[in-house]
Chain A
Amino acid sequence: MSTLVAAILASLLMFWTALLLGGCGRSSATPTGDFNDSRRQIVTTTGMVGDMVSALVGSDARVETIMGPGVDPHLYSPSRSVAVKLRSADIVVYNGLHLEGRLGEVLASRSGDPSLTIAIGELLPHDRLLDADAGVHDPHIWMDVSLWSEAVGQLADRLAAIMPEHADAIHARAGDYRRQLSELDQFGEASIASIPASQRILVTAHDAFRYFGKRYGIEVHGVQGVSTISDAAIRDVNRLVDMIVTRKVPAVFFESSVSGRQVKAIVEGARSRDQEVSSDWELLSDSMGARGTSTGTYIGMMQHNIATITTALGGAVDQNPTAPVSEPVSEQDVATEPNT
């Protein structure tokens, strides 16, 4: 009998240790603030969306983001407490277009005024969206800064309608933010254009950069498809290796929120054909960098991506006061391990 008790205790211990460690490692949500706060509560999903909403409402509302840095929104599954937050928030703003694949049910169960649940993807005109397989749109809309800026305008209108007392402030902030985004957009355009045409090929872990490619004129290839749910196939791996070797692609890119296994396989494949392709680069594809760092905002994230891609592929980063110094991401920042 005592062995039974011991076994139960051991498994419970294992379980609670896991929960505890999970809690320690998690840096997702910002504090909710005290209960006497009369401001509206807006809950957002990805960091990029959260950044946009914060830029628009400032401190006129409480903004909370549920997916922290490094989290893959395609696979993110809400815990009970997060589901409760999503259901009970005054306003929910999310990316939409099936990016947050596992939140569909929770979002659908929100009661009350449907206009308080806003999908940014649905604010944009359909002709600006790219198609993915099976009749759905590619959800990675934040990768085209000009498109994202349009969404800012649309979201500002919606939020102003919901919070008319702050309408003027929201529109003013929208104007400021869109100006910054316009500079960022030009930065991107200029930098990517400086990459020699034959080297303008972007190979990443999954197909997150199609909007980026279309807007800034660069060919994009992802090892996995538009969603990280399905594994890559040998055929695709071979195809990419062949392309890298034939067209002498100088660099391939890891992503912070996706396993780097496929990219490493491609690097090894290219090496077997005597093509050393540089892979010390990490892009922020589906999530931003850590809070409080230079990449912890949407603008910082895209600056990092643009600068990294440009440098890695042999271009010259546009000299812009807001652009960070271009250099390859150092070993400590990239989450790769030596032997695997």
Chain B
Amino acid sequence: MTTFETLFAYNTLVVLAGTMLLGVAAGVTGTFLMLRGRALAGDVIGHAALPGVAIAFLIYAAIAPDAGKSLPVMLLGGAISSGLGMLSVLWLRRVSRLPEDAVLAIVLSTFFGLGVVVMPIVQASPTGSQAGLPGFIFGQAASIRQSDVILLATIALATIIGSAMLLKEWTLMCFDEGLATVLGYPIRLLDFLLMSMVVAVCVAGMQSVGLLLIVALLIIPASSARYWSDSIRPNIWISALIGALSAGLGSIASAMVPKLSTGAIIVLVAACLLVASMLVGRRHGLIFRRLKPLESA
């Protein structure tokens, strides 16, 4: 196949669409996740999805043995266990004296460990091998289909609409929780809505880049955006753009070069864009800092 044919092949375009939509959703959501100071929570949520996916499969196989695997059921299971993971983090932080990073490490390893324990049970069951659990862990972007794209488009749209509607509220909650409380905002509800968005992005992203790497898509574009703008709205746009760009370039690279895992390449491209931003980012890039020292106030 010629390069042109490869780039514009139906499957390439579908994978491009799916991964770029994920890049947008993760970029938008990741901006708020970073502002909230919960970057690693994205990692916890990703890892915590594994037991839910596996257990949902087992339950569904027990209830409807002839139906084979059901993707919606598995994704729902993943969302539920991710949600439980997040709630565990919030709860542990409140009732224990453990520092934040210890709490994150505990929840992440416990949930993921449970998933690892359940996985061989799935693999040993008659339809378990078709469930494709390793695909959820490491991603299987090459086989994205139209139905996946529709799900990703829905989630991307939801994140854009959600962040447009709640921009003020989330910004205030992330910046000054004290004032937000004093002004009477329901912090718990706002937090819940934000973390729900993170769960949605992780669950949708599981099939593309895998739950191990989804945190990278949440954090790296958002971090890169910081070097280009000091204002919230541009940060969100730029983060979405970088997310989409990483996904697009990564998918194209994977289409051109043999044996490149799409999910991993996307993350590497994102990392390169971060380094580039750190060097030439308009606001805080190294080059600009050297050439033009900040005016003192």
Contact = CB atoms under 8 A, between A and B. Distances in A.
Q: In their complex, do chains A and B touch, with some C-beta pair under 8 Å?
A: yes
Interface of A: 3-4, 7, 11, 14-15, 17-19, 21-28, 67-72, 75-79, 228-239, 241-242, 256-262, 264-266, 268-269, 272-273, 290, 332, 334-337, 339-340
Given A18-B54, A233-B254, A241 B126 contact: no
B59 A235 contact: no
B126 A261 contact: no
B102 interface: no
A238 B255 contact: yes
Nearest to B126: A70
B121 interface: yes
A70 B128 contact: yes
Given A19-B121, A237-B11, A261 B143 contact: yes
Interface in B38-67: 51, 54-55, 58-59, 61-62, 65-67
Contacts, number: 199
Contact of B67 (A3, A7, A75, A337): A337
A242 B9 contact: yes
B36 to A, nearest CB: 24
Interface in B111-137: 114, 117-132, 134-135
A76 B122 CA distance: 10
B82 interface: no
B124 A26 contact: yes
Contacts of B14: 265, 268-269
A228 B135 CA distance: 10
B95 interface: yes
B11 A234 contact: yes
A260 B139 contact: no
Interface stretch (B144-152, B162-170, B176-184, B231-239): B144-152
Contacts of A335: 68-69, 127, 130
Given A231-B139, A269-B11, A339 B1 contact: no
A14 B55 contact: yes
A264 B145 contact: yes
Nearest to B259: A233
26 contacts: A15-B117, A15-B118, A21-B62, A22-B122, A26-B125, A68-B124, A70-B129, A75-B134, A76-B124, A77-B123, A231-B262, A232-B143, A233-B262, A234-B142, A234-B262, A235-B254, A235-B257, A241-B10, A242-B9, A260-B130, A261-B145, A265-B11, A334-B68, A335-B68, A335-B130, A339-B147
A233 B68 contact: no
A262 B124 contact: no
Q: Which has the most chain B C-beta neighbours within 10 Å: A25, A77, A230?
A: A25
A4 B92 CA distance: 9
Contacts of A19: 118, 121
A235 B6 contact: yes
Q: Which has the most chain A C-beta neighbours within 10 Å: B51, B95, B123?
A: B123
Nearest to B207: A261
Nearest to A259: B132
A77 B117 CA distance: 10
A269 B9 contact: yes
A259 B130 contact: yes
Interface of B: 1, 5-6, 9-12, 14-15, 51, 54-55, 58-59, 61-62, 65-72, 88, 91, 95, 110, 114, 117-132, 134-135, 138-147, 251, 254-262
A4 B95 contact: yes
Contacts of A17: 55, 59
A228 B128 CA distance: 14
A311 to B, nearest CB: 22
Contacts of A339: 71-72, 147
A340 B251 CA distance: 22
Q: Which has the most chain B C-beta neighbours within 10 Å: A18, A72, A239?
A: A18
A18 B261 contact: no
A334 B122 CA distance: 18
Contact of A76 (B55, B62, B114, B123): B123
A231 B142 contact: yes
Contacts of B5: 238, 242
Contacts of A7: 88, 91
B11 A21 contact: no
Contact of B9 (A68, A69, A241, A261): A241
